[in-house]
Homo-oligomer: A and B are copies of this chain.
Amino acid sequence: MFDLKYIPTSMYCMYSPTPVKDSTRDQLLEAAKSLLWEVGYESMSPRKILERSGAGHGSLYHHFSGKADLAGTALLEIEVELTESLDRALLADVSPIERIRRFLNKKRQGNKGCRLGRLTQEASIASPTLRDPIARYFSHAEKQLTQTLQEAITSGELQPDINPRDLACGLLSIIQGGYVLSRANGNGKYATISARGALALLDSATLK
C-alpha cells in the first residue's frame, strides 16, 4: 500500500490536480523547512516550529512521531526540490559545458547557506533519517555532473586529460565552499566570487 502521507508536498501535483497545501501538517512541514535553512536542525526547537506554523503543540505530535520525524520528512521534500533544480540546470538542451556553466551561474543566497550542505556539520546527521536525504542529493549531483563532464570530453569541448569525477567534486565543493566563505566574511557575495573563479578555470580547460 502506498501511503499518500509520505509523498513530498512538492510532488502532490503529480497525483492530484488540487494539492492540499494548507493542512496543519503541511504548515508544520513548511515551518520546519524554513527553519532548517535558517537555524539548522539542532537549533530548530518544537517551540519555534509551532510559533512559525501557527499549529498547536498537540498537532506536531499527532502528525509526526517527534522532531526528528518532522525534520526527516522536511528533508525529503528539500531533497526533491534541490534535485529538480539541479536536473533543470543540467538539461541537455545546450552543450555539456554550457550546462555546467548554467549550474555554476545559478542564483545563490550566500549568507544563508546550502539548504542541505549547511546541516552537514551537525552531530545529529549521524542519524540515517537526517543523513540519507543529504547523502542522496550530493551523490546524485556528483553523478550527474560527472556524466555531463564526460560528455564534454567526448564531444571535444573539454581537455581529455581531466578526470571528470574529480572535477565534478571540485565544482560541487566550490559551490559549498562559497557558502562557507560568505558566512565567514559576513558577505553573501563570496558565493558568486568563488563561482566566478570556477568558471574561469573551466574556461581555461575548455578547448576553443
Contacts and interface: CB of A to CB of B under 8 A. Distances in A.
- Would you call the interface of chain A mostly helix, strand, loop, or mixed? helix
A198 B163 CA distance: 11
Interface string A176-208: 111011011110001001111110111011000
A180 B183 contact: no
Interface string A126-138: 0000010011011
Contacts of A139: 185
A162 interface: yes
Q: How many copies does the complex hold?
A: 2
A72 interface: no
A113 interface: yes
A20 to B, nearest CB: 32
Nearest to A201: B201
Among A120, A169, A183, A185, the most chain B Cβ lie within 10 Å of the Cβ of A169
B184 A169 contact: no
Contacts of A186: 131, 135
A42 interface: yes
Name the residue among A113, A172, A201 with the largest chain B CB count within 10 angstroms.
A201
Contacts of A137: 184
Contacts of A193: 165-166, 169-170
Contacts of A183: 120-121, 125
Contacts of A118: 121
A49 interface: no
Interface of A: 39-40, 42-43, 113-114, 116-118, 120-123, 125, 131, 134-135, 137-139, 142, 159, 161-163, 165-178, 180-181, 183-186, 190, 193-198, 200-202, 204-205
Given A40-B123, A139-B185, A172-B177, 10 more contacts: A117-B184, A120-B180, A135-B186, A166-B196, A170-B198, A170-B201, A173-B176, A180-B180, A201-B204, A205-B205
